[in-house]
Every structure is written in structure tokens, then in C-alpha cells.
Amino acid sequence: KSDLEEKSGEISRLHSKVEELSLNNEYQLRLRDMNYKEKIKEVSDKFMTELKNDADRYAQLMSEKKEMEGDYEERLVALQSKHSDEFKELESGYNAKINTEVHRFEQLVSEREEQNRKWDEENQALVDSHTEFLQELTEEYDKKVESEQSLQKQLSIEKDTMVSKFNVTKDLVEDDAEFEVEELKGKYEGKLNAERKATLRLRGEN
């Protein structure tokens, strides 16, 4: 029985280990996914900030352009030329930044998918190995259980016989006890009635 309990405990520990490994792998995948998401968010936030700054700069230049339209023609032409050059430079830098950030984003997504694939393969191989070993232990455990059940059946029959004998003895003892209680109850009630009568007689004399 001790060997059977040890095998049963070992199977439970293996079950727990398989579940623990699966949970740990899922946790690692979620952690990596969160890290990639944080990186992607950081890149996106930086990109949006730079984009906003560029947009603000562009809006500022357009505002300055409109303000200068009421000035002298020569100054307007000079400013238009200057702003055109700055706008082209900003547009060129903006497009370059977009292409760079898109490439970085695609690279991060690709790396995350590759890591997930590797984790899935390693986790499946580990689960398959433990499952095979667990199946072997389970078969051995089933044989032990079959033998143990036969023994338990025999013990159950012996226990039922003992319980039956005990119940018979218990009923006899309870019957004797009930008879004694009723006998004592009758004696005490007789004594109590005598005391009451004596008390009433004393009160009548007083």
C-alpha cells in the first residue's frame, strides 16, 4: 500500500509539474509579448510625437507664410522660397522617419512570432515526454489499484460483520440502560411526591 501511495503521489507530482511547465511557458510567452508590445508602443509614441512636432512646425510655417502675404512682394517671394526649401526638407525627413519606423515595427513583429513558435515547439516536446512517462506510471498504478480494490472488498466484508455484531451488542446495552433509567425515575418520583406531601402537611399545621 505504501508503494501504491508513493506511485500515486509521484503521478500527482508529475501532473502538477506538467501544469506548472505549461503555465510557466504561457507566462513567458505573455511576458515576451508584453515586452514587444511595450517596445512597439514606445516606438509608436516616439513616432507620433515627432510627427506632431513636424506637423506643428509645418503649421507654423504655413501661418508665417499667410502673415507675410500682406507684406512687400520681394519679402514674400524670399519667404516663399525659404519656406519651400524647409518644407521639402521636413517632408523628406518625415518620409524617412516613417520608413524607418515601419521597418522597425515589422522586425519586432517578426521576432515575436519566431519566439512564440520556438516556445510552442519546446513546450509541446516537453509535454509529450512527460505524458508518455505518466502513461507508463498510470498503467502500473491501475494494476496496483486492482489488487488493492480486491483487498479492500475483503476488508469491507469483515468490517460489515463487525459492525453488525457491534449494533446487536449496542441495542442490548441501550435496552438495559433504558430499563435502569425508568426504574430510577420511578423511585425519584415516589420520593418527590412524599416530600411534597410532607411539605403540605407542615404548612397545614402552621
The yes-or-no verdict on residue 71 having pLDDT over 70 is no
The yes-or-no verdict on residue 4 having pLDDT over 70 is no
State the pLDDT at residue 155. 84
State the pLDDT at residue 1. 52
**Residues near 41 by beta carbon (within 8 Å), at least 6 away in sequence:** none
Residue with cell 514606445: 42
State the pLDDT at residue 136. 83
State the pLDDT at residue 200. 76
pLDDT tens for 105-155 read 888 888 888 888 888 888 788 888 878 888 888 888 888 888 888 888 888
pTM of the model: 0.27
The yes-or-no verdict on residue 206 having pLDDT over 60 is no
**Residues near 47 by beta carbon (within 8 Å), at least 6 away in sequence:** 97, 98, 101
What is the residue-averaged pLDDT of the chain?
79
Q: How far apart are CA 26 and CA 126, in angstroms?
A: 14
CA atoms within 13 A on the CB side of 192: 6
The yes-or-no verdict on residue 175 having pLDDT over 60 is yes
Q: Which amino acid is at 138?
A: T
